[in-house]
Amino acid sequence: MKIGYACTPLLVPYKTTRRISLKYYSEKLLIDTIKENLNDLLRILSYNRDKEIKMFRISSDIIPLGSHPINTFDWNNYFQYELNNIGKFIKNNSMRVSMHPGQYTVINSPKEDVVKKSILDLQYHAKFLDSLGIDSSHKIILHIGGVYGDKELAIKRFMNVFKDLDKNIKNRLVIENDEKNFSIDDVLFIGENLSIPVVFDNLHNECFNDNNYSISNILKRVKKTWNKKDGNIKVHYSQQNPLKKLGAHSQSLNITNFLYYLDLCKDFELDIMLEVKDKNISAIKAVNSILELSNALLKENIDTEFKNYKFILLEQGENILYEGYNILNKNTSLIEFYKFIDSFMYNEILVENKTHVLKLLENELKSYMTSKESNHFYKLLKERNFNKCKEYLYKIACKYHIELSKNYYFYNN
């Protein structure tokens, strides 16, 4: 089983989402931007390997304006060495990557120009994955699209367009159920008829709310759409944020719910893409929990996680910090530690606790800060702009390249 997250990691300064405005387009700018994106992609994959995160969704922006007519540059040949290197790294480390075109890639649109642009976008995505020299288990995920007042006709349009797609696109394309237009039944109907693997999204299924199927029954049907060349069944897993509208992803992974889901899926060989706001932080949480269940968790992982969650615990009170420490000291169980953190994840934080933690962090950064920076921090604190205080201290930590910038506290919103 591989665990992954999407596009841009937290904790590290790497990104593959640099874009180019059409207004300022030039071949030199394109080359420079692609080079930066590819260099950072390799760095992200290297970081993921070190954290035992084996799956990753590559941003569609990796090649700026990848499917736009203005971009006629032969990027896959120009960057052949870099692309081969990335592909070799993926293969040598048994990783799995994917791409997920955006909301405007809609092949069942009734508008011919939209369909043409969507096909160009799929050609770009397939070309990029092909350029890495990786097999067809590395997928392009696509939603069916819009209903346009007639679902049956919309499905027929999707099926007709799919039949005429290039073979390299068909080899990689997988389809996913969404939360309001096409249910898991709709997508399975299409997948079964066209031999397209289906990606099951649990939260979308809950939002659609049109069935009471068990996870096991859904996955039995999904499994039949996946062939050996497609690799393990790929699923998207997310949890509802209880404070936001239906369908909003949670800030972090609730480990109890995740382990329950894993138990429901135990009879299937899955790779799980987490869709959660804190991205790689939750991926680390999931990986550590799976390692613990396999008796393969290292002591250093436990120590690192306590250090990373220290200020989140302290915001809840010193007694909570000590209780968290005691859980790890007594049980040496990260799963129990994560459950403890999850129990207060959405609690209100007392003003005095916010102030206490911010002052502690400012004290740790004090030797690096100028008097002007320190004065600005205390001005924000006096005004009780706690979020701005946190953001400012994070900027200071990044500015001076201090390890504290990687603490989970700064990413817990």
pLDDT in tens, 300-331: 999 999 999 999 999 999 999 999 999 998 88
C-alpha closest to that of 355 among 383, 375, 324: 383
pLDDT reported for residue 331: 80
Do residues 155 and 191 touch, judged by C-beta distance below 8 A? Answer: no
332 or 9, which is more confident: 9
d(CA 84, CA 403): 32
| Residue range 287-302, pLDDT digits in tens | 999 999 999 999 999 9
366: helix, coil or strand? coil
| Residue range 170-219, pLDDT digits in tens | 999 999 999 999 999 999 999 999 999 999 999 999 999 999 999 999 99
What's phi and psi for 138, nearest 5 deg?
-95, 110
Helices 184-194 and 215-223, packing angle to 10 deg: 20
Average pLDDT of the chain to the nearest whole number: 97
pLDDT reported for residue 304: 96
d(CA 400, CA 392): 13
b/e map 211-248, b = 16+ CB within 10 Å: eeeebeebbebbbebbeeebbbbbbbbbbbbeeeeebb
5: helix, coil or strand? strand
2 backbone φψ class: left, alpha, beta (φ>0; ψ -120 to 50): beta
Residue 300 has a CB neighbour count (10 Å cut-off) of 8
pLDDT reported for residue 310: 97
Residue 41 has pLDDT above 90, yes or no: yes
pLDDT reported for residue 117: 98
C-alpha closest to that of 126 among 67, 191, 195, 41: 67
What is the token pair recorded at 393? 């201290």
What is the token pair recorded at 169? 């696109």
pLDDT reported for residue 95: 99
d(CA 193, CA 191): 6
pLDDT reported for residue 330: 87
pTM of the model: 0.96
pLDDT reported for residue 413: 79
d(CA 288, CA 253): 12
Give the torsion through C-alpha atoms of 166, 169, 174, 176, to 10 deg. Answer: -80
| Residue range 105-133, pLDDT digits in tens | 999 999 999 999 999 999 999 999 999 99
pLDDT reported for residue 242: 94
pLDDT reported for residue 332: 85
Cβ partners under 8 Å of residue 117, min gap 6:
67, 104, 105
Instruction: Identify the H or E element spanning 198.
Output: strand 198-201
- Which residues are bridge partners to 70 per DSSP? none
| Residue range 49-108, pLDDT digits in tens | 999 999 999 999 999 999 999 999 999 999 999 999 999 999 999 999 999 999 999 999
What is the pLDDT confidence band of residue 282, given thresholds at 50, 70 and 90?
very high
* Cα-Cα end-to-end distance for the chain: 29
What is the token pair recorded at 219? 């996955």
| Residue range 224-253, pLDDT digits in tens | 999 999 999 999 999 999 999 999 999 999
d(CA 145, CA 119): 13
What is the set of domains in the chain, with CATH numbers? 3-293 (3.20.20.150), 299-411 (no CATH)
Alpha helices in 224-296 (DSSP H): 255-264, 280-293
Alpha helices in 265-400 (DSSP H): 280-293, 299-316, 318-331, 334-342, 351-365, 371-382, 386-399
pLDDT reported for residue 31: 98
Q: What percent of the chain has pLDDT over 70?
A: 100
Please report where in the chains the tokens 């096909």 appear, as a residue: 119
Do residues 236 and 219 touch, judged by C-beta distance below 8 A? Answer: no
Mean pLDDT of 18-36: 96
pLDDT reported for residue 334: 97
SS (H, E, C) 127-158: HHHHHCCCCCCCEEEEECCCCCCCHHHHHHHH
214 backbone φψ class: left, alpha, beta (φ>0; ψ -120 to 50): beta
Residue 344 has pLDDT above 90, yes or no: yes
Q: How deeply is 369 buried, as exposed, middle or buried, from its count of CB atoms within 10 A (0-12, 13-18, 19+)? A: middle
d(CA 75, CA 295): 45
d(CA 180, CA 77): 41
d(CA 235, CA 192): 17
Residue 2 has pLDDT above 90, yes or no: yes
